[in-house]
Structure 1
């Protein structure tokens, strides 16, 4: 018989990652509700461990036992997790002081249950707007909830999607969302209304019917919108909503992609994390430990690092973004 803990590691999947506000810690959450905390100063410093020895976390704690931590983010005073029907905040002072394994969440916000099923929706993705200081949560009940973290109130929800939401992106007063329903929606956050809808699966050159219509990831700038999922990863003009670039990747579905400094970074059901130009030229193919990548996070300071994680017990670390320098063990 395989021990339960060993079994968990064999089937481990890391769904979410974030950095502490000072950039010195990487936090990762998995499908069992555990959070692993890594000290990047130690991992990337001059005394880092030799390549043949995989480094584990400083410590790990059961934040939400037996519930997957689908998303997490970092705000000034709190580490925020999204699970089944609940958004929780953890005081950074506790997280950074190694007391986290014994600490409880500082606050919890409940997402209302569906009136028909009485089942609370999963919180699949969260973004925090520094413009209006509100949190936006994309959920399994097709709604985007607007949450004021100051008092824990849900101000309202944005309705329009007809299936569960995979990803959100925010910029200034605009929000982009994408869903299992095959659509990308743009929202004006001042008016709190839907301003545009894009349906990539209806465009022949982008559609991949055998992989489905779902859109797993979205990102945007003033000029460009990036999305992918079942349909190919593609870059669209924001003004015309025409596809400018369709990326030719050997993937079986895109789960994470973003626009970063004139390049596109993407991963999913593929053997690599891809770095590409807007025109589709591949700048780097970084091998992954996971058959499917669900989370990519990066920062420039105090440590330049990109971390990719997914359907394995390992997190891939790149410090120059063009090759994998090392792997960490989630547990």
Structure 2
């Protein structure tokens, strides 16, 4: 029975994003109420005194964006970077992962430009970070991708071309991939800051799912492959030929995250499972999830092998063996 405002918030909680600390010892997640939950993985995965019928909660917690969603987050060597409508904020990792976290103050804030034609602030839907040049690539609700220099907080350039808001980004060396509500996947050469290729999966009959729309909710790529999905079915494309090699047959109602991991694909969306598939489209593992819709999947291999799944619930699903769920944490 939902009998208080707190219980109501937990009942409707959605966790949109997550990341690991630079040393891999902490997992951090952000929700729709602007809160950040921090988990010390050694304590979380070790023996604990929590009753069997009670889920383990965060080690530390703080509010990053009061009365706003934590829409995306990313980790740099020194900062946890979180984003909400109109701004990006940096938080010192040494404080985030300490018992001082509840009283933390932001280290810096970067404002997203407001379009001349609109007074509305733009959502920051996705961020990726390049360690090589200390640049943050920011996919926004105003159809733009901003290149932000984190050394001085200045926006270096915007990548323009998408006709609707950005859902997802993936970074590999000097190449960036972006997926948008407009149904396209764009590839960018970051040395020239130019769009070098455009895919429109919804125009391919065997991939299109018109009832679910043309939006692209997830992108990832490797040296040989491009992975994308959303309204259209999840599909794997040859980067050299820009032709689809595999169309994954899944019972989802939309894809929100997809990763290329070694010789497999890991994906989730509007379906209460995360799927592991080989490149031929065969299901390797089917992991049940606490959330009916999965919004974020993150993983690391060192110092602790761990895959974490969050979405439309107050729970976080943890897999130390990627193929099955080992335990469930609670956000709050």
Task: Bin the TM-score by the shorter chain.
Answer: over 0.9
- CA drift of 1:52 comes to 3.6
Contact 2:226 2:237 in 1 (8 A): yes
Where in structure 1 do 4 or more consecutive aligned residues deviate above 4 Å? 46-51
- CA drift of 1:51 comes to 5.1
C-alpha distance in 1 between matches for 2:18 and 2:258: 14
Matches within 5 A, 1:139-150: 139-150=140-151
C-alpha distance in 1 between matches for 2:74 and 2:292: 24
Contact 2:76 2:131 in 1 (8 A): no
C-alpha distance in 1 between matches for 2:52 and 2:322: 18
Residues 50 and 317 from structure 1, CA distance in 2 versus in 1: closer, same or farther, beyond 3 angstroms?
farther
- CA drift of 1:35 comes to 0.3
Q: Indicate the residue corresponding to 1:228 in structure 2.
A: 229
- CA drift of 1:140 comes to 0.3
1:216 aligns to 2:250 (yes or no): no
C-alpha distance in 2 between matches for 1:160 and 1:264: 28
Q: Indicate the residue corresponding to 1:55 in structure 2.
A: 56
Matches within 5 A, 1:1-331: 2-47=3-48, 49=50, 52-331=53-332
The alignment partner of 2:8 has SS state of helix
- CA drift of 1:131 comes to 2.7
- CA drift of 1:129 comes to 1.1
- CA drift of 1:48 comes to 7.2
What's the TM-score, normalizing by structure 2?
Answer: 0.98
TM-superposition CA deviations, 1:247-275 (whole Å, max 9, x none): 01110000000101111000000121000
Figure out how many residues of one structure are paired with residues of the other and give that number.
331
The alignment partner of 2:30 has SS state of strand
Structure 1, unaligned runs of 5 or more: none
The alignment partner of 1:9 has SS state of helix
C-alpha distance in 1 between matches for 2:53 and 2:285: 24
- CA drift of 1:2 comes to 3.7
Contact 2:266 2:276 in 1 (8 A): yes
